[in-house]
Amino acid sequence: MAAPKPITTTTVFLFIPNLIGYARVILALSSLAVMRWYPKICTWLYILSCLLDAFDGLAARKFNQSTKFGAILDMVTDRCTTSCLICFLSSAYPKWAIFYQLLISLDLASHYMHMFAMLSSGQDSHKKVGKERGWFLNLYYTNRTVLFIFCAANELFFVALYLCSFPPETPPYFGSRYGIPISYATIMAVVTFPIWLGKQLTNVIQMVQAAQLLAQVDVEERNGKLAAANAKNK
């Protein structure tokens, strides 16, 4: 039986989950291209890009094609697409611009610090969060259902705000038969708001704990060097 051929960088780039990742990027870019003029088309393209986020992970586990490149591609795509949508919201709601700027900053800082902290502590994935980081972050990253609900609600809340930024249409309205002109986008915003708020709190917790973990790594490294220096001087 012939030995399996060694893989190359091209092989990794063409792994199935990474191909799904490229499709996510194309869909996200397409949604940005029509974001200003065609809200319905943009919404479906954006949501489809987000939904594929669940399938690339499934494909990686099914075909044993989990890679560091794929993990980074997945995270970068998530952060960039959400940031681009929030940038649109800051122009659509200029009075809230600084609030949206802070949201982008929190999202980027939290995830960057978390990933760097996990890699610095010897983990090979930012999702391998042990119970020593707290029960909530452990649940958030190890329970796929919880992670999906939080991420989906977060994106749907921003999508709802995006849809609400356009002039209201005549029907369909929720409850229009009863004289209650409430759009479906408004309902989606109200329903997803509590979980969206929980996602922002998660980002804060994640950033604080990442800072503590990085400081602990610094302590261990410095104490190790100090112990080595003391042993050398004896």
Query: Can you give the residue ranges of every domain in the chain?
Result: 1-92, 96-234
Share the mean pLDDT of the chain.
86
In the numeric block, the tokens 């709601």 are attached to: 93
Confidence of residue 175 (pLDDT cuts 50, 70, 90): low
Asked if 78 is an active-site residue, the reply is yes
Contact assessment for residue 90 and residue 96, using Cβ atoms and an 8 Å cutoff? yes
The pLDDT score that the predictor gives to residue 58 is: 86
User: 98-157 pLDDT, tens per residue?
Assistant: 999 999 999 999 999 988 888 877 776 666 677 677 777 888 888 889 989 999 999 999
Q: Give the ranges where the chain is alpha helix by DSSP (H).
A: 9-13, 16-34, 39-62, 68-92, 97-120, 135-142, 144-164, 184-233
User: 195-213 pLDDT, tens per residue?
Assistant: 999 999 999 999 999 899 8
Q: Which residues pair with 174 in a beta bridge?
A: 182
Q: Which of 53, 56, 74, 78 is catalytic?
A: 78
